[in-house]
Structure 1
Amino acid sequence: MGIDAKTILFITLAIALIAGLSLLVESRATRERAQWIWGLGFLTIAAGCGLTPLRNGISFQLGVWVADGLLIAAHILFLMGSARFLRRSMPWRAWLALAAWLPLAAWPADDSQTLAFAVVNAALVAVLALATARMLWRHTDKSDWTSRRLAAIFGLHGLFYLVKAVLVWVPGGFVDIVSLKGIVIQLSLVEGIPVATLLLLVMAASARRRREAHLLSLADSDPLTGLLNRRAFDARAEAMLRGNGAAAMPGALMLCDLDHFKRVNDTCGHAAGDEILLTFASLLRVTLPAGSLVGRYGGDEFVALLPQMDPDSLSRIGATLCARFRTGHRPAGDRVIATTVTIGSAMVRPGATLAALLGEADAAAYEAKRRGRDQMFIRDADMAPQEEAPVRERRCAHA
């Protein structure tokens, strides 16, 4: 039994319309602009499906040139939406697809030319779909399985249209592009149904996953500095110590207290205090080595877990933090604020827990403050946990 082209077109139109409207509605909830662009792509496909029956004795230009051109435009929108989803710029070459399609409007609508429409249309759709798949695959993390699935669907879709462009010349493949007869034409109509359905499901899932990751990030982040908050730092630091094994991870815990911060808030206002906190948070980001875990523990207290760290390297990092923060005066209205930081550090020992390291770093910070602030002290790495916490002095060299 043959495939009823009109029925398949109606089903495809209905799916594309539902997909487009669903993505447009959901984009308002997720605030993901990519979904809005993807939704426009599906609505463009729906419009093309609605125009396709006009090719049969009513209007070749509307039923073939415009309808098939809308399929190309839809895939440009899919590529644009994917670029937006990845926070990347739209490849300008994608617009060349429409430029290649426009001249076909002047071609006569005879049998010798209709195959050209089929070849060019299939080739352009294939290129756009494969470009979308490549972008999604290259610029998403391996753990983002929803985006990887989206890339796979576009990839398979692009390969299908690439084969379709080749099969145009196979006898019986394209019998009549106007009446939609021929095995390749009918397979193409059928292929659109599962592809549209899968794209809708995976696009929605990708946007929801992005939204959930954003909400999780907000829950784990300090709202002012963007660093990890105390709860998130504790959880990740404990996992870091357990996962790497404290015995195999020579590292250090660094506890940073901004000196006389309350005085800054009282005399210059909380806005000035916030600027100082942001300045120190940025300084931590650019000074600490890659792989460090950094958080704001509360108020003017910051904490960092540094893997693969020896006392000498830690001393240099602490000296750099002290010196840069001391010399980085911050204006507050017509006043200039000079601030310093006191740092206490503890070297990671085999079997050390986060609570023990925090206690040792806090004791080291207290000792640093007792000796004059604006400096770092490192607790000796070879001392037993139960011993009193004497520290190795690592004074920051004053300019």
Structure 2
Amino acid sequence: MTLDTPTLFTCVMIAEFAGSAILLLFLLLWRARSRACALSLGLCSVGMFLAGSGTFLIALRGTVPESISILAANALLIFGTGLRRCGIAAFLGKRPLIWVVAGAATLWLALCFYPPFFESFLARVNYVQACLILSCLSIVAMTVRFNREKLHSIRFLGVTTLIECAAYVWYTVNQNLLRLPDFLTAFSEDFMSIFLVTVLFAMIMTIVLQVSMVVERSLQGFRDQALQDALTNLPNRRAFYDAAEAWISGRQESGGRYCLIVFDIDRFKSVNDRYSQAMGDAILQLFSRVLKDSLSAEAVCGRVGGEEFAVFLPDCDKEFALLTTQRLCRRFSVGCQQATDGKLVVTASAGIATAECSIGLARAMEAAVNGLGKAKRQGKAQIVSMDLLTNGLLIKSTAAAFSRLKRKAA
């Protein structure tokens, strides 16, 4: 089979129909998709089918009436390519704006009823190619601006779509320079083969990348779920350790200090037993919200046990950690009272470990947990701070209750 222009044109048409079928089949079989992914696959599948139908009708030019091979064919091509743009927008969480695409196709039909426009092949080419170019540029812009998840497949799709856009520009420039009388005459020109090969490559890559987008997002969602506590939406123990250890390992040569705080909700089991598990879950969620709303962006927090939470404070001294801990405990206690109209008072105790970056996180966690144990033995709403030497040995422990440092903590 030689790669002449009719063969390449047929390959483009087949690729569009095959892509539509592949995306539809993937939509039906991939159960891990989100609603946005399903809408994206559906729109892209329909778009490719309509574009393929338009390409098929263009191939019949000269054998079917012009109302079909020109009017209907290009309207389907414009609308189908625009729906692909709508599918990418839906995937990225933006409004599809299908009415804009429908408006462009409708305007094409209206212009074709204006004789000077319809009789000018160059005018028709410029309008259709302008619609295709704008659709491609819109996709490229979205892949650059709205790829908040930093998906590699979205970036590659932007590059592929830019290549497709370059093909449409190439075709338009050559048509305007050569001023060919009709589409069939263009088939014998050398630029047409380059145009079709580029579009065919871009079409195949687009099909692969649109499937890859959904798969990559699903896999990223699985990774996020594996590192996130389902109840509080905080990082789980593994994610917390990974983030904290990454900071420590990056500062071991340059030096620095960090503080590790471990919280435990006082008498949580009795609250669960008396007020039901739903109330216990609500208390855990409240504590997680206090952490999210109160801590700086540099701090790392997570749920590391049943009712245990941990906070990692980089470049922090003991006094700041004490003030932060008291502020968090007080906000949590006040929040519980406000949420229950004063009927339920729940407090939290904490252990703090202050250490150099030369000391590993495991040793600091051991010291903080020991401090928490001392705090729990002293009663409710207690804080015990543990200082570690550079060799990991404990210097001393300092106990504090909410009544101390009250003005500073507030």
Same fold (TM over 0.5): yes
What is the SS of the residue equivalent to 2:229? Answer: coil
Over 3 Å counting, the alpha-carbon distance change for 1:231 and 1:350 in structure 2 is closer
Query: 1:27 matched to which residue of 2?
Result: 27
Give the residue type in structure 1 aligned to 2:111: L
> Deviation digits for residues 333-384 of structure 1, max 9, x if unmatched?
9994321111211123131112111111112222333444324333236576
Do 1:150 and 1:199's aligned partners in 2 also have CA atoms closer than 8 Å? Answer: yes
Confirm whether residue 241 of structure 1 aligns to residue 248 of structure 2: yes
Aligned match of 1:358 in 357, 362, 365? 365
Q: CA deviation at 1:197?
A: 0.5
Give the residue type in structure 1 aligned to 2:91: F
User: What CA distance in whole angstroms lies between the structure 1 residues aligned with 2:140 and 2:157?
Assistant: 7
Q: Percent identity?
A: 25
Further displaced range: 142-151 or 281-290: 142-151
Query: 1:306 matched to which residue of 2?
Result: 313
Q: CA deviation at 1:250?
A: 2.8
Confirm whether residue 137 of structure 1 aligns to residue 144 of structure 2: yes
What is the SS of the residue equivalent to 1:298? Answer: coil
Query: 2:199 matched to which residue of 1?
Result: 192
The 5 A counterparts of 1:136-215 are: 136-140=143-147, 144-171=151-178, 174-177=180-183, 181=187, 183=189, 184-215=191-222
Q: CA deviation at 1:191?
A: 2.6
Q: CA deviation at 1:212?
A: 0.8
Do 2:160 and 2:205's aligned partners in 1 also have CA atoms closer than 8 Å? Answer: yes
Q: Unpaired runs of 5+ in structure 1?
A: none
Q: How many residues align?
A: 398
User: What CA distance in whole angstroms lies between the structure 2 residues aligned with 1:92 and 1:345?
Assistant: 56
Do 1:363 and 1:389's aligned partners in 2 also have CA atoms closer than 8 Å? Answer: no
Do 2:350 and 2:383's aligned partners in 1 also have CA atoms closer than 8 Å? Answer: yes
Give the residue type in structure 2 aligned to 1:60: E
Query: 1:279 matched to which residue of 2?
Result: 286
Q: CA deviation at 1:388?
A: 5.6
Query: 2:235 matched to which residue of 1?
Result: 228
Q: CA deviation at 1:185?
A: 4.6
What is the SS of the residue equivalent to 1:286? Answer: helix
User: What CA distance in whole angstroms lies between the structure 2 residues aligned with 1:359 and 1:107?
Assistant: 81
User: What CA distance in whole angstroms lies between the structure 2 residues aligned with 1:332 and 1:323?
Assistant: 14
Give the residue type in structure 2 aligned to 1:85: F
Further displaced range: 113-122 or 371-380: 371-380
User: What CA distance in whole angstroms lies between the structure 2 residues aligned with 1:347 and 1:93?
Assistant: 60
Aligned match of 2:380 in 373, 377, 388? 373
Do 1:61 and 1:105's aligned partners in 2 also have CA atoms closer than 8 Å? Answer: no
User: What CA distance in whole angstroms lies between the structure 1 residues aligned with 2:290 and 2:340?
Assistant: 22
User: What CA distance in whole angstroms lies between the structure 1 residues aligned with 2:324 and 2:80?
Assistant: 53
Q: CA deviation at 1:89?
A: 2.9
Q: CA deviation at 1:133?
A: 0.6
> Deviation digits for residues 208-262 of structure 1, max 9, x if unmatched?
1111111111122222112222233333333332133385343211111011110
The 5 A counterparts of 1:244-393 are: 244-245=251-252, 248-329=255-336, 336-380=343-387, 385-387=392-394, 389-391=396-398, 393=400
Query: 2:61 matched to which residue of 1?
Result: 55
Over 3 Å counting, the alpha-carbon distance change for 1:68 and 1:250 in structure 2 is farther
Give the residue type in structure 1 aligned to 2:265: L
Over 3 Å counting, the alpha-carbon distance change for 1:394 and 1:289 in structure 2 is farther
Over 3 Å counting, the alpha-carbon distance change for 1:259 and 1:111 in structure 2 is closer
Do 2:388 and 2:394's aligned partners in 1 also have CA atoms closer than 8 Å? Answer: no
The 5 A counterparts of 1:105-124 are: 105-108=112-115, 112-124=119-131
Do 1:247 and 1:351's aligned partners in 2 also have CA atoms closer than 8 Å? Answer: no
Do 2:52 and 2:77's aligned partners in 1 also have CA atoms closer than 8 Å? Answer: no
Over 3 Å counting, the alpha-carbon distance change for 1:54 and 1:350 in structure 2 is closer
Question: Which runs of 4 or more aligned residues in structure 1 lie more than 6 Å from their structure 2 counterparts after TM superposition?
Answer: 330-335
Do 1:254 and 1:361's aligned partners in 2 also have CA atoms closer than 8 Å? Answer: yes
Query: 2:44 matched to which residue of 1?
Result: 38
Do 1:225 and 1:281's aligned partners in 2 also have CA atoms closer than 8 Å? Answer: yes
User: What CA distance in whole angstroms lies between the structure 2 residues aligned with 1:203 and 1:239?
Assistant: 34
User: What CA distance in whole angstroms lies between the structure 2 residues aligned with 1:243 and 1:154?
Assistant: 39
Q: CA deviation at 1:311?
A: 2.8
TM-score normalised by L of structure 2: 0.86
Query: 1:217 matched to which residue of 2?
Result: 224
Confirm whether residue 90 of structure 1 aligns to residue 96 of structure 2: yes
What is the SS of the residue equivalent to 1:251? Answer: strand
Do 2:330 and 2:402's aligned partners in 1 also have CA atoms closer than 8 Å? Answer: no
User: What CA distance in whole angstroms lies between the structure 2 residues aligned with 1:47 and 1:102?
Assistant: 17
What is the SS of the residue equivalent to 1:150? Answer: helix
